[in-house]
Structure 1
Amino acid sequence: MKDEYGIRRTGFIIFWVYMVLLFCVQGASAARIKDLAAIKGIRSNQLSGYGLVVGLNGTGDKDKVSFTRQALANMMEKMNIYVDQSALKVKNVAAAMVTASIPPFARIGDNIDITVSSLGDAKSLKGGILLLTPLKGVDGQVYALAQGPVTLAIPAGTGDRDSHLLVARGINGASIEREIPFKLDGKKNLVLSLFRPDFTTARRMSDTINSALGQDIAKTVDASAIHLKVPETMWKKNVAEFIADIERLSVIPDTIAKVVINEKTGTVVIGSDVTISSVAIAHGDLAVTINQEDGTEKKEKVMNLPGTSTIGELVRGLNSLGVEPRDLISILQSIKAAGALQAEIEII
């Protein structure tokens, strides 16, 4: 029992030492601006369309799904085949909603991935073929055409109940037929939008851009936006190069002190900027072992942590108590309630 506890405690200490080193390395690392922000207005757009998946091995919609029969009858009429809708059997056909995301600056003929989701009561889309499906944007215009085989992610075969059989993917399953117009050349002003709004990070970005490309190019608007003034020599036909020059610049992003807790799994992630004020900790039967000068050992139930303790001091102190992740959750929440933890606690 003692050996098992020692192994578990040693593994816990190694895990936290690794996390401390990881945070220390990441805390001082810089990131490219393209990984922290994007030009406002340059984004992907969502497309969707109604389609039919055929060729299913009896796993399609039941006959009571009227819209599948109706869609199949309409498709056959376009091929000059007139049938009685009520006489159609659709067990090998499934109605589906097809969705896709068209990236910015996509050109005619480019291929994009699609997601095919069952709309009726089909059992599985395995082995199906999606018939030609127009994909429309919110403006009602057709921007892509989807067609072809769809595949499922089934790690253990069709008998695996953990697999989801009613959603399939089509890799490069749609081709772009209409481009979304977005003209860069001629723009004299741009807005750089941060993925994670932060005043300090935004200021650092502005300073970095101005230092690298010249003063008065970037101006911090708020925590999430930086106004960019395109130089006169570039706004007529070199705006793309101007954006590329900005994206490759590196900035050290600032982060708030945060502790993220997942109570379901017992996972605790502590940011490198987390500090605590003076506090004494006692938790259950856990005790600190202190080696005295005469060679004897003394066990204390309470551990004192000095003010402005860093993450490393906190981890070392809690490790001395033999604290495991689930105990650590309770301790951190108690320290926060006592007002001694200078960090935000987020429970997911």
Structure 2
Amino acid sequence: MSLCRRLIALAAVALAFTAPAHAERIKDLGAFQGLRANQLTGYGIVVGLAGTGDDSLDYATQGMKGVTSRFGLTLPPGVNPAVKNAAAVMITAELPPFAKPGQRLDITVSALGKAKSLRGGTLLLAPLRGADNQIYAMAQGNLAVGGLGVDAADGSKISVNVPSAGRIPGGATVERAVDAGFATSPTLRFNLADADLTTARLVAQAIDQRLGGGVASAIDAVTIEIQAQPGAETRTALMSIIENIVVDPAEAPARVIVNARTGTVVINGAVRISPAAVSHGKLTVSVTESPRIVQPAPFSKGVTAVEQSSQIEVAQDIHPMFDFAPGASLSEIVKAVNAIGAAPSDLVAILEALKQAGAMKAELVVL
């Protein structure tokens, strides 16, 4: 039996195993080096707009002259065509790995100049280039715009979503494939999405356990290097086996995420609290002003005056002190905070205080 057939048989056996509930497939932890998407960009002209185009912008005019020159139409010197029904746009797309010529890509079209809306427009044939300035796809089609913009004669206007951008599903055709290089590279490399030394070691051990010792090695916190024979068919089968191996990843670092703008606080399960006592109260001071008009006595030559009357009230919400036992878990933290009715802003203050006191060793991330 050839090596390729053996690898395919091993892949079938691998898929038959049922992963534990807490385990993850290796394919969900990262991706093989080289198998990535590539960004494409292009410049084009959208025509057929209902007077919402770029009007007389120079680069839009130059684009229109370039389009008409393809068909042998040359505008006289000094003639500036009105382009209210056309707009200069930028086109963006993502070329997935292993994309082959003839496949279709979704594209996003965004106005580059003063165009108010691209609704009803048609993108003329435009090339899409990669980072190496080579053409990898050609784009053309009718835009689907979800936004709406209307201007009235008195200057009032209404806008729903963003009418100056739209999409064309399947609006680009791949013209050139990108060589991933995985079939001829000296070794295969698997990169973790999140750097973690322990997870990298565990992934390498799981691969060795399935394929044999000495096949995989963790060279840093992200990359696992895998020895493999060259050849597209052999390596495709091997990568399929590796992707479906299950592994118990290391526990994520203790981290608390605080979004100060929305008041959202997220605490992961690895956060632990050292012994600590917390007392949290809320002091409210309210001042009420009740001015009173004082009239002078009749025939007294007095003047009307305003007499100030202020009332100050102080209210304090008293919450009992609570303590955290050694190694308090996430559920115990939530239960203690809910017991005192702390709002998200109060919770942030408590967590920051615990961090400063050295009772919480987690990383505190403020967005």
1:14 paired residue number: none
1:128 paired residue number: 121
Aligned 1:8-23 pairs, distance under 5 A: none
5+ residue gaps, structure 2, are 1-20, 151-157, 284-317
1:185 paired residue number: 183
Select which of 60, 64, 78 maps to 1:68.
60
Residues 79-88 or 247-256, more deviating: 79-88
5+ residue gaps, structure 1, are 1-27, 287-298
Letter of the aligned partner of 2:267 in structure 1?
I
2:262 paired residue number: 265
Name the Cα RMSD after superposition.
2.0
SS of residue in 1 equivalent to 2:159: coil
CA deviation digits over 1:200-238, x for unaligned, max 9? 1111111111111211111010101111111x4x75741
Shift of 1:30: 2.1
Contact (CA 8 Å) 2:281, 2:319: kept in 1 or not? no
1:251 matched to 2:251? The reply is no
Shift of the 111–236 alpha-carbon distance from structure 1 to 2, 3 Å rule, reads: closer
CA deviation digits over 1:161-185, x for unaligned, max 9? 3511222111111000111123443
Partners of 1:83 and 1:153 in 2: CA distance: 35
SS of residue in 2 equivalent to 1:212: helix
Contact (CA 8 Å) 1:51, 1:97: kept in 2 or not? yes
TM-score (norm 1): 0.83
Contact (CA 8 Å) 1:109, 1:175: kept in 2 or not? yes
SS of residue in 2 equivalent to 1:107: coil
Letter of the aligned partner of 1:317 in structure 2?
A
Shift of 1:79: 0.8
2:295 paired residue number: none
Shift of 1:43: 1.2
Shift of 1:188: 4.3
1:199 matched to 2:168? The reply is no
Contact (CA 8 Å) 1:187, 1:236: kept in 2 or not? no
Letter of the aligned partner of 1:68 in structure 2?
A
Shift of the 300–60 alpha-carbon distance from structure 1 to 2, 3 Å rule, reads: closer
Partners of 1:29 and 1:150 in 2: CA distance: 44
Contact (CA 8 Å) 1:59, 1:122: kept in 2 or not? yes
Which of the pair has more CA radius of gyration? 2
Contact (CA 8 Å) 2:140, 2:172: kept in 1 or not? yes
Contact (CA 8 Å) 2:146, 2:161: kept in 1 or not? yes
SS of residue in 1 equivalent to 2:141: strand
Aligned 1:36-51 pairs, distance under 5 A: 36-51=29-44
Aligned residue pairs: how many? 305
1:91 matched to 2:84? The reply is yes
1:226 matched to 2:245? The reply is no
1:330 matched to 2:327? The reply is no
Contact (CA 8 Å) 2:182, 2:188: kept in 1 or not? no
Identity of aligned residues (%): 39
Partners of 1:262 and 1:73 in 2: CA distance: 50
SS of residue in 2 equivalent to 1:226: strand
Shift of 1:308: 1.4
SS of residue in 1 equivalent to 2:346: helix
SS of residue in 2 equivalent to 1:203: helix
Which structure dedicates a bigger proportion of its chain to helix? 1
